[in-house]
């Protein structure tokens, strides 16, 4: 079986994330996709992140709609979560599966700065989704010096220029977000006065 792991802060989850899941499933014929909301993401240290409960609740709503699973494995961890440990965990859970790490091009660009990234590259395939300003050749040039380059599948056919940052800013400015998130997520944000 092919399992896709899709980690993120999901603060909040948005239509871009949904498109990513659909594209990864279709192009790579994934049998299951697991959203993994981040607990205390090392790369966002110092930034203010919305409470886990809220982020998880919004991810769960969307996961149901796209028939994906949600794992609270990183959320429940007390210490920082590193992707290499997360992938190891799921590889142990599904020993016969081929793991695909689903990631936006912006995050993939930073991969060489991640903790034990070479071990991570050896553990899984990468499904890399286009984001503005990150062309294929720019991304691959990052790994020229590596003995074993990452196994990358580029999902270039989808392109959704939406980010959680934009959504948080729009909500704070009192602007409409109905084209950026599913109705249930918009309602949740309003109900819980998030991003004000």
Stretch in the footprint of ligand ATP (CB under 6 A) among 67-75, 103-111, 115-123, 172-180 = 103-111
* Binding residues for ligand ATP, total number by CB under 6 A: 18
* Range 18-77, binding ligand ATP (CB under 6 A): 20
Closest-CA residue to 54 (of 10, 7, 5): 10
- Nearer to ligand ATP by C-beta: 58 or 143? 58
Looking only at the bridges linking them, the beta strands covering 98-104 and 69-70 are unpaired
Shortest spacing between CB 58 and ligand ATP, in angstroms: 11
- Our finding on whether 188 is near ligand ATP (CB under 6 A) is no
The two tokens of residue 98 are 């081929």
Among positions 29, 48, 78, 165, the unique one binding ligand ATP when judged by CB under 6 A: 165
Burial of 138-170, coded b for 16+ CB within 10 Å and e otherwise, reads: ebeebbeeeeeebebebbeeeebebbbeebbee
- Our finding on whether 11 is near ligand ATP (CB under 6 A) is yes
Shortest spacing between CB 96 and ligand ATP, in angstroms: 26
- Our finding on whether 4 is near ligand ATP (CB under 6 A) is no
Question: What is the C-alpha to C-alpha distance for residues 113 and 89, in angstroms, rounded to an integer?
Answer: 21
Shortest spacing between CB 60 and ligand ATP, in angstroms: 15
Residue with the shortest CB distance to ligand ATP: 104
Among positions 97, 106, 156, 184, the unique one binding ligand ATP when judged by CB under 6 A: 106
Stretch in the footprint of ligand ATP (CB under 6 A) among 88-96, 135-143, 160-168, 183-191 = 160-168
- Our finding on whether 10 is near ligand ATP (CB under 6 A) is yes
The two tokens of residue 35 are 């959203």
Question: What is the C-alpha to C-alpha distance for residues 66 and 57, in angstroms, rounded to an integer?
Answer: 15
Which positions touch ligand ATP (CB under 6 A)?
8-11, 16-17, 20, 103-104, 106-107, 129, 131, 160, 162-165
């Amino acid at each position: 079986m092919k399992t896709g792991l899709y980690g993120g802060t999901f603060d909040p989850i948005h239509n871009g994330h949904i498109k990513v899941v659909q594209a990864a499933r279709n192009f790579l014929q994934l049998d299951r996709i697991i959203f993994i909301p981040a607990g205390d993401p090392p790369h966002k240290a110092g930034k203010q992140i919305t409470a886990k409960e809220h982020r998880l609740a919004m991810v769960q709503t969307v996961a149901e709609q796209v028939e994906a699973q949600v794992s609270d494995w990183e959320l429940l961890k007390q210490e920082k979560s590193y992707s290499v440990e997360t992938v190891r965990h799921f590889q142990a859970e599904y020993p016969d599966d081929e793991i695909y790490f689903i990631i936006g091009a912006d995050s993939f660009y930073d991969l060489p700065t991640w903790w034990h990234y070479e071990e991570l590259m050896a553990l899984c395939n990468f499904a890399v989704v286009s984001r503005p300003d990150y062309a294929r050749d720019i991304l691959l040039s990052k790994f020229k010096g590596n003995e074993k380059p990452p196994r990358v599948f580029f999902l270039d056919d989808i392109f959704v220029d939406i980010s959680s940052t934009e959504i948080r800013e729009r909500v704070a400015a009192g602007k409409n977000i109905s084209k950026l998130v599913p109705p249930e997520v918009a309602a949740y944000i309003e109900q819980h006065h998030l991003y004000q």
